[in-house]
Amino acid sequence: MTGYDVHEVRKDFPLLSKGLIYFDNAATSLTPRKVVDAMVNYLLECRANVGRGSYPLARIATEMYEDVREKAAKFIGAKPKEVAFVKNTTEAINLVSAGIKWRKEDNVVITALEHHSNMLPWLRSSKLHGFELRTVKPNRDGLLMVEDLEKAVDNNTRVISVAHVSNVLGTITPLKDIAEVACSHGALLFVDAAQSAPHMPIDLRSFKCDFLAFSAHKMCGPPGVGVLYINEGVEVEPLNVGGGTVSDASLSGYRLVGRPAVFEAGTPPISDVIGLGAAIDYLTSIGLENIARHEVELARKIRKSISALPFIKVLGPEDPQTGIISFSVEGVKAEDVALAMGNLNICVRAGFHCAIPLVRDILGEGLGVVRASLYLYNTAEEVDVFLEALENVVRTLKGVS
């Protein structure tokens, strides 16, 4: 049982009433009415800047904004002063990779499972500062083995940065074990939670983590805002300085304010932050445990069925860990499959999924892969339609009657 009525939930998402089957949730989720209503309420009823005015409307706007910080902190088990609002997960990783005072003897350890956003910032910093970037490969099922990662870590490892959930394979990284490895070597741990925060509970009190980031647009919120957690004991320079980041300034220097305001230069995306808060409320009311259970049930049904179809290779573990299923069709470009499915009003993603080294070089899928990614509003009935359509599309593309 899911623990909630999925058909009632679907009523909150107007786009689903158009007969659309939306299986591209790992890229971005749909938005419920409550989130839009909260944003509209701010824009029409409380349209003032935050942290800059003493008049009542400005104070109310600031209170609304800071209330979301409290919600975001509680959502992951952090303190409000450890939570900064950023544009998205990509910006968060760039902020940290640019804000650490690097030494040439340092090294950073990532995995071959990473999205480009958790790869390229570290690669760029390694070239700029001369430290070594080390990459750990997953096993054949796409699972990261802690013992393999531990071999790459030494006492000069400055940061270990991993995705909590692979955006291609849906595999879950063993964070508690990795946190122990990081701690034993004095390394900082960055967790890319873009694919986990929207789908499962996260509690930073259950494992030691120095950085964690996620984006609102993947969790029923608006695009343009995300959350960066920075452990209060870790030193990071802000990526930007300007309005709202200084307590004093002259033509020859300035004095920065404390956290988290120091990481939020300029006017923030206030309405988007308000939308994020409404999204957190929405997901919390349904229950992240319930959402995770629902997605895995649907993913198991998809994997079992398409594994039996001819010409299809399913990637990742035999028993899905999340609601992400990726597959390839023998001799067919992934984009061709997605285009044909799209013409049937079924939305799936195809290509290399911003993970070219994983898809092309590790998995050997030079034609890309098709990804079906599920969320709280998807149903078993949609899965049945998807499976029938996929079988017909593959037969057509392969020229088999």
> What is residue 347's predicted lDDT score, i.e. its pLDDT?
98
- Residue range 254-258: mean pLDDT, rounded: 95
Total residue length of the chain: 401
Q: Is the pLDDT of residue 324 over 60?
A: yes
DSSP readout, 92-108?
HHHHHHHHS---TT-EE
DSSP secondary structure, 112-131, as one string: TT--GGGTHHHHHHHHHH--
Rounded mean pLDDT of 290-298? 98
Catalytic residue list contains 354: yes
Does 2.60.15.10 match the CATH number of domain 35-284? no
> Above 50 in pLDDT, residue 212?
yes
Domain positions in the chain = 6-23+287-398, 35-284
Contact 381, 301 (CB under 8 A): no
Q: 282: how many CB neighbours lie within 10 A of its CB? A: 21
Question: How confident is the model at residue 1, as a pLDDT?
Answer: 43
Q: What is the per-residue pLDDT for 2? A: 61
Same fold flag, 6-23+287-398 and 35-284: no
Using the predicted structure, report yes or no on whether residue 93 has a pLDDT greater than 50.
yes
- pLDDT (tens digit per residue) in 122-142: 999 999 999 999 999 999 889
pLDDT for 140: 83
End-to-end CA distance of the chain: 38
User: Measured at the alpha carbon of residue 136, what is the angle toward residues 134 and 139, in degrees to the nearest 5?
Assistant: 170
Q: How far apart are CA 21 and CA 10, in angstroms?
A: 12
Q: What would the two tokens of residue 149 be? A: 């990662």
Mean pLDDT score of the chain: 97
- Angle formed at CA 208 by CA 101 and CA 226, multiple of 5 degrees: 70
- Give the mean pLDDT of 26-46: 98
pLDDT attached to residue 223: 98
Distance, CA of 118 to CA of 110 (rounded, Å): 8
Specify whether the CB–CB gap between 136 and 161 falls below 8 A: no
CA angle, residues 397, 371, 360, in degrees to nearest 5: 85
pTM over 0.85? The answer is: yes
CA distance linking residue 112 with residue 4, whole number of Å:
36
> Tokens standing for 103?
């030494």
**What CATH number belongs to 6-23+287-398?**
3.90.1150.10
pLDDT at position 116 over 60: yes
Q: What is the largest CA-CA distance in the chain?
A: 76
Range 67-82 average pLDDT: 98
Q: What is the pLDDT of residue 248?
A: 95
Mean pLDDT for the stretch of residues 197-218: 97
| Choice among 209, 220, 347, 354 that is catalytic | 354
Predicted confidence (pLDDT) at residue 18 exceeds the cutoff of 90: yes
